[in-house]
A and B are shown apart, each in its own frame.
Chain A
Amino acid sequence: MGILGRVFRRKSKKQIPQSDTHLYRDLLTNITRVKNDFGQSDDLTVNSFKWNDSSPSICASLYIKSLVNTETINSLSEEISNLKIKDNKSRQALPFDVLRAHFSGVRTLKEGDKYIDLYADLLSGNTVFLLHGSRQYLSIPTESTEGRSVEEPSSQTVIRGPKEGFTENINQNILLVRKRIKSNTLRLENLSVGNLTRTAVGLMYIKNIAKDSIVREIRDRIKKIETDSILEGAYIEEWIKDDRYSVFPTFLSSEKPDSVASALLEGKVAIFTDGTPYVLTAPALMVEFLHSSEDYYHHYIIATMMRFLRFIAFFLTLLVPSFYIAIATFHQEILPTPLLVSIAAQREGVPFPTFLEALIMENTFEILREAGIRMPRAIGPAISIVGALVLGQAAVEAGIISAVIVIIVSITAISSFAIPNYEMANAIRATRFAFMILAGVIGIYGIFIGIIVLTLHLCKLKSIGVPYLTPIAPWIKDGNTDTFFRFPFWVMKNRPFGLHGDDKRRIGGEYTVRKNKKGNQEFR
């Protein structure tokens, strides 16, 4: 640049205070600045070293001890000492050029000159090199991959099927899904959300199968999130949900890679969040919350049976307590007489009206359930004995509640466990209480109005613009091969649910084994 250049540079130095954001030339100033900004944290390790005896430049390496992998650091220092020795013998070159030449082949090498970027790199577990006299820094990834290993998911167990579950490391999770979909159309986009946590969020979708508009919408929504922290996928879900107030989940969360992979193949977008083993898929439809990945691993008739059971369980857990309250309070004539007599006999000494009784028992069960989540393993059996014997049996014998209500509450509770997705089960829990209140006040009419309003609410919900109750309402013509019945694979010609983008057909051929067309004569 010459003299003129230096003059101009000096001038610009005076006009714009670059000292706040950009690195200095002086190594000591840089290091002091970094140490101050980190509050003299003991984690921050700074090592200065001379490049070699012939060159007067002093280099420094910085890293945060708790975030780096010790083995990588050790191998890094070995490489650098080898480089130093090599460079000693050859012509002098700037240390940074040597490092650049060596590292930029296969490893990602980042350079920059702003403090903010330097801090970001340090906090991601990189090692940063500073050189006296240079206004730039080099950073090399050395982050540690400490964390849980891949184990069976705790919340979603299957009888047949893969038992791998996601872990808290986002790269490992992406690996688990990439292993299953080996196609170049599987796209991954990395975002960073949260001002303080800077959580790594990954968007994954299959290019032609997912609708472009949906992908774009999700991407825009996530980019617009402005908050301090994203600690779990649920934070993202709350920020980008379509309907702010509804209890019903509109994002499907899963801990199993095969569920996520099959969702991606249906045209959904997967949202990975660093730090949690739960991966969100969007858009999610209501029927999917009642599906389990096992349905595809068993025979289709069995799977259909199990699905029906789950649908029945859904209605049972929602409506059984309210129907009991309504019938026992207002419409006793519905029951056949022997049953009515026995129920009346049981309720003879009970001091509470049916509504209160049901409310008390439901609340007691919910408390038991909450206690069960948090209790240490050692006391587990004791609590179940307490729950069963004391609350159930003894309360009935003491005449505080009737035996029928214990049966009702157990049916409700067991049915709620049959619902595969925990969020949906919780939503139903909340709605169940509303139904009980309606039943207690107005009886069966209240329940019907409640069902009508619930249906309206579900019809209004949308998940990223897709109506919640697709493919039932609006009825997609061939989209119902996978909702109530699980049709065999050779019937599901198109991708289900009407969510897909361009690529509609799933299979090319037909059922491969036909009686007359089997190859060998003896197999016919």
Chain B
Amino acid sequence: MNETKITSRQIISLTAGVTTAGSVLVIGALIASTAKQDAWIGSFLAILFGIPVIWVFLFLGRRFPRMTFVEISRELLGKWLGTVVAGSFLFLCLQISFHTPWFMSDFMTSQVMPETPHYVIRALYIAAMSIAILYGLEAFARASEIFMLVVSVLFVFVMVMVIPNAKIENLLPVFENGLIPVLKSSVFVTCFIALPNITMMMVYPARLDDLNKGEKSFLKGYFLGGGITCISILMSVLVLGWAITANSRFSVFRFANLINVGIVFSRIEVIVFVVWVLTQFIFCTIYFYAFVIGLSQLLKLKNHKRLVLPLALILLTMSEVIFPDVAYQEHWAVFTWIPYIFTHGFVLPVFLLMVYWIKKRVLKMDIGDNRGQK
């Protein structure tokens, strides 16, 4: 693997992208149906609940700098168990790579352009992802800086524009059903915003110059992404009310429709579309990249770029197979995805952490790097 270096600022944008994108679609509906009008408190708590998860990532990153997640698991768990665990993680990455082109084609055909054949949309998206990886991680990280800059500006613009339509009474009464629903929903949301950052573990320690700045950047990116999610849920409830939010697939898209500031164009939601496409692109390219790099590390290949194009072909076919229809997808996202990402995003790193502690303290083995140990 050639020595690509990422600056800490690029870590911010990559993490923010992964955090935001993981949550945009199903989140609004999920959290609003559980916590109702307190959905915004739930999302805010979700950010806080995610902090320990991020801390686990950072801890592992500090102890094993310059190693990706796959390498860490092989180091800690030995060759066989480590490979199995890494393989399972990589399967997760592969699944996500299948999902996003599906989301794209579903969104485009349902909202924007009904007559376009699905595979064209998916093929273009997969082509863009492959090009991103073939150009290398450095180029992609730089591009993500630009994308997040654009996303932030556009997001603020849309949110500010929609303020006139906000009705504060949609937030009342606060805590009508008590704290429990809020807590429940926030745990769910954490699964969408914090845990997907496990994939950043394939990128984060292995490619960074300055680890201290990198840790702060990881957190900054997480807060930025979490902030975007939180504000979008807040505005969604403010403008549409919790009932509509709970029932709509793309709530942010809906309320952007309501912007009426006398501008000429009537489809301002194109801006929301742009925000969504860009963050999704960062998200799925990171996952695809994680899969390619992980696979080539497991197979001990020297050049990971050779695998990209054959994998793209597989992606093209499989991204149509995974979700037969929308109802299946919505059911799957709640009942299967949440435990899936929970096992891999939380249980797995904690497990690795415990193995590390056992090996270090109990067995007194000398593993890992002790830099920064307080």
Contact = CB atoms under 8 A, between A and B. Distances in A.
A474 B124 contact: no
Contact of A460 (B113, B135, B270): B135
A459 interface: yes
B108 to A, nearest CB: 6
Interface in B134-181: 135-136, 138-140, 142-143, 145-147, 149
Contacts of A444: 112-113, 270
B336 interface: no
A452 B145 contact: no
Contacts of A146: none
Nearest to A477: B9
A475 B144 CA distance: 12
Contacts of A448: 274, 277
B267 A473 contact: no
B135 A474 contact: no
A336 B125 contact: no
A473 B265 contact: no
Given A445-B108, A445-B121, A449-B128, A467 B270 contact: no
Nearest to B12: A475
B140 A456 contact: yes
A456 B113 contact: no
A457 B265 contact: no
Interface string B113-125: 1001000110011
B315 to A, nearest CB: 15
A475 B139 contact: no
B142 A453 contact: no
Tell me if B's interface is mostly helix, strand, loop or mixed. helix
A443 interface: yes
Given A445-B121, A453-B128, A474-B7, A469 B270 contact: no
Given A336-B264, A445-B121, A473 B146 contact: yes
Contacts of B124: 442, 445-446, 449
A486 B71 CA distance: 47
A455 B9 contact: no
Contact of A459 (B120, B146, B264, B274): B146
Contacts of A442: 113, 116, 120-121, 124
B317 interface: no
Interface in B267-283: 267, 270, 274, 277-278, 281
A473 B146 CA distance: 7
Contacts of A453: 127-128, 131
A460 B143 CA distance: 9
Nearest to B265: A334
A445 B135 CA distance: 22
Interface string A440-480: 01111110110011011101100000010100111100000
Contacts of B34: none
A336 B125 CA distance: 30
A455 B147 contact: yes
A456 B135 contact: yes
Categorize the interface residue count of chain A. Answer: 20 to 34
A290 to B, nearest CB: 16
A456 B139 CA distance: 6
Contact of A334 (B121, B135, B145, B266): B266
Interface string B95-132: 00000000000001000110010001100110110011
B286 to A, nearest CB: 14
Contacts of A460: 135-136, 138-139
A472 B9 CA distance: 11
B10 interface: yes
Contacts of B266: 333-334, 336
Interface in A231-255: none
A445 B117 CA distance: 13
Nearest to A467: B142
Contacts of A459: 135, 138-140, 142-143, 146
A472 B150 CA distance: 12
Chain B CB count within 10 A is highest, among A443, A449, A467, for: A449
B346 to A, nearest CB: 32
A459 B147 CA distance: 11
B224 to A, nearest CB: 14
Given A445-B108, A459-B140, A473-B142, A452 B135 contact: no
Contacts of A487: none
Contacts of B108: 445
A455 B266 CA distance: 28
Nearest to A326: B113
B143 to A, nearest CB: 4
B143 A456 contact: yes
A286 B343 CA distance: 45
A300 interface: no
Contact of B143 (A336, A441, A449, A473): A473
B142 A330 contact: no
A334 B116 CA distance: 18
In order of increasing CB-CB distance, the 9 nearest A-B pairs are A460-B139, A473-B142, A459-B142, A460-B135, A473-B145, A459-B139, A459-B143, A449-B124, A456-B143
Given A331-B113, A452-B143, A457-B131, 11 more contacts: A331-B112, A441-B120, A442-B121, A448-B277, A452-B277, A452-B278, A456-B132, A459-B139, A473-B142, A473-B143, A474-B142
Interface of B: 7, 9-10, 108, 112-113, 116, 120-121, 124-125, 127-128, 131-132, 135-136, 138-140, 142-143, 145-147, 149, 264-267, 270, 274, 277-278, 281
14 contacts: A334-B266, A335-B265, A442-B121, A444-B270, A445-B113, A445-B116, A449-B124, A456-B128, A459-B140, A459-B142, A459-B146, A472-B146, A473-B10, A474-B10
